[in-house]
């Protein structure tokens, strides 16, 4: 019973948790990004907003880049903090600009992604990542 309320964890548990988080969040985000990617490479006209004032096409290309390319980098743990920042920014735009006047329930999904990307920006990708391989397996040990 005592272990159910324990707040301690091992580095191995943290690294596995980060891997599970990265893989699952990437899978979820790709369900949003891949249809947009197919629209981008298809011959349908782009119907998308311009939430930050850079043009509809540029906004659409950037969100496809975030939701597809950055999600794949996030999954692999490659340039994870950069990919997470781009995804964090895109979710901030979605929550606070695109859905600014919508009820909380509409913003909730973007906010949940935003928090996940923030946590990964702070913690990094963990041991099971390309970042870990590139860094030579160095890094501070977690307690």
Q: For residue range 14-24, list pLDDT tens digits in order.
A: 999 999 999 99
Mean pLDDT for the chain overall: 94
Q: Which two tokens stand for residue 116?
A: 């996940």
What pLDDT score was predicted for residue 137? Answer: 78
Alpha carbon of 36 to those of 8, 23, 54, 128: distances in Å?
Answer: 41, 20, 18, 29
Q: Percentage of the chain surpassing pLDDT 90?
A: 85
**Nearest Cα residue to 109 out of 91, 121, 97:** 91
- Sign of the C-alpha dihedral computed for residues 78, 116, 16 and 24 taken in this order: negative
pTM of this structure: 0.90
Query: Region 3-17: what's the mean pLDDT?
Result: 91
pLDDT score, position 142? 46
pLDDT-based confidence at residue 80 (cuts at 50, 70, 90): very high
Whole-number pLDDT of residue 13: 93
CA separation for the pair 50, 59 (Å, rounded): 6
């Amino acid at each position: 019973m005592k272990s159910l309320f324990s707040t301690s964890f091992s580095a191995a548990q943290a690294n596995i948790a980060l891997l599970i988080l990265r893989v699952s969040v990437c899978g979820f985000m790709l369900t949003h990004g891949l249809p947009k990617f197919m629209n981008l490479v298809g011959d349908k006209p782009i119907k998308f907003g311009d939430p930050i004032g850079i043009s509809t096409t540029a906004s659409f290309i950037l969100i496809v880049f975030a939701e597809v390319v950055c999600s794949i980098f996030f999954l692999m743990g490659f340039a994870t903090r950069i990919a997470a920042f781009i995804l964090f920014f895109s979710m901030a735009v979605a929550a606070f600009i695109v859905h600014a006047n919508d009820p909380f329930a509409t913003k909730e999904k973007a906010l949940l992604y935003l928090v996940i990307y923030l946590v990964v920006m702070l913690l990094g990708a963990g041991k099971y990542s390309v970042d870990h391989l590139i860094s030579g397996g160095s890094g501070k040990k977690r307690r």
